[in-house]
Amino acid sequence: MAIRKKTTKQQATVIYWGPSMKSVLQYSTFRNGLPPALKDLTKQHKWFKGMLVPPAKLSEVMKSMKEQGSREHTLYKKALEAIKEGGK
Per-residue pLDDT tens for 18-53?
Answer: 999 888 999 999 998 998 888 888 898 899 899 999
Q: Of all helices (H) and strands (E), which one includes residue 30?
A: strand 28-30
Q: Are 20 and 14 in contact (CB under 8 A)?
A: no
At position 25, the amino acid (one-letter code) is L
Tell me what percent of the residues of the chain surpass a pLDDT of 70: 85
- Over 90: is that where the pLDDT of 74 sits? yes
pLDDT band at residue 5, thresholds of 50, 70 and 90? Answer: low
Q: Locate the domains of the chain by residue range.
A: 36-88
pLDDT above 80 (res 17): yes
